Structure 1
Amino acid sequence: MNCEAMHVRLTIVFLLCVSSVVLAMIYYTPVGKVLPNELYEWVGTKSANFQYMVLSYEPDLVILVKGWIFSPVSVPGQEEYAFKIVIESDDFTHEIRLSGERSGIYIYMPQHLFVLPSNTRSLNLNGFVVEIPKRCTFSTKQLSRGGMEPGVHVLDESMRETHVFERGQKVFLRVDAGQKNTGGYSVKIDEVRFAERRIYLRAHVESPEPGAMVTQAITYPAAVIEVQEQLEPGLYTVKCVLIDRNVEQTFEVEFEVR
């Protein structure tokens, strides 16, 4: 993510998370600033599609949502289309309707930013469900030697990279910071979240303090996570967000459990 996009994202999160404390348990507002398409995830089909981006899970769930439906016929005098959003958690269900805006053969749902309780389980967007990943317990260990480039890799119990596992085999994920010119760097895992067949990681690189005594040699810091969820057969996607000196990078990798 470039610096401008990251600045906008952090500003929105800060302002609206503060607002959510003063306002209601559920808060939403239109947001005109649209970020690059590759930063959004999506659900839908060729005739209806919704894009979303989770900006924060704690202390509130903060998420951007926009979408469209294919509607080539407009009936004169008919009330404009309303998008239906149902927010669900273990202890509440709340429905919101947002007016669409026609443009040619499409009706668009303007981008909105939602500030929701952190225990929100799912968003139902016109029948398409976005499952909110749940926080998982995890264990990590530091490695003295990772990869030469930043990224995320899937490993078996012998720490060999692989993308196919038999059911019951342990799965490990290695997050690499890439090449560093000195020692004193480490990778810290901030959180692991799990939803259906998606695993979300957030991590950051800790740098040595200015003037600290460090090894004057090239290093490749990394951390390994043991996936403690019971994984059913299927194809899994791992999405890792790594922050290094305020620069945010996103990596994805897939693996299969048979």
Structure 2
Amino acid sequence: MLFDSDTIRRKKLALWQQGAIEEFERRMRSATRPFPCIPATIGDSLRQFRFGFAGNPGDASSMDDLAVLLKEYTECSRDCGDYTSLVVFYETPQEMAEHMKVEEYEQLFWSQLAGLAERDPGEWPAHVPNDPHQALWEFCFHGEPYFMYCGTPAHVNRNSRYFPCFILAITPRWVLERFNASPSRASKIKQRIRERLKKYDAVDIHQDLKMYGSKYNYEWKQYFLRDDDTTVSKCPFHRFFNKKK
């Protein structure tokens, strides 16, 4: 179920899958309108991404798809390169793509994470806090901490979060740690990212985009950005950490 940039080209895809891949590549490789996340464009150019497809995000079966994909990716990600991420495209019905609102997609996103956590075969890492309202918390699966990005067809103003179908881009924490290993280089790239964001989006950079580990930063707030400057006050994700004990 997991593909790299080469094998996915040899795969006979459904029309919606082919369209999703082509649109993703177009956005990553645009010379006239560069995608803001520079490490993502590097990962694409180096062919270090892995891709997968899931069903209708409104169906519980799509959580099964995601769990299988992320487990497989967790087991191979460290062999994929320093700019790797897992990109999951969901088969989004036309009715959903045309009429669902950003806030409704937000609920879908958190239900996906909740369902994924229920299907987690591993233990929550001891060094990651259980409470999402602590600065060092982030979502974990199969023992690996991940940064989650969600894009939807409903985003208009925040074009950096728009995609024709429901999409997740999942990046291991170790990838981000290696990126930040050279603080001066990382700082320069982050500044360029913010400059690109200002040009790419029709609204200001969201106030929740902050540095991991800083006192007032919460990773979960960055996973799903709304199309305006609003945010939820409490993390929608709930996990019963003692259920496996």
TM-score (norm 1): 0.24
Q: Which has the higher contact order (CA 8 A, sep 6+)?
A: 2
Q: Which has the larger radius of gyration?
A: 1
Structure with greater strand percent: 1
TM-score (norm 2): 0.24
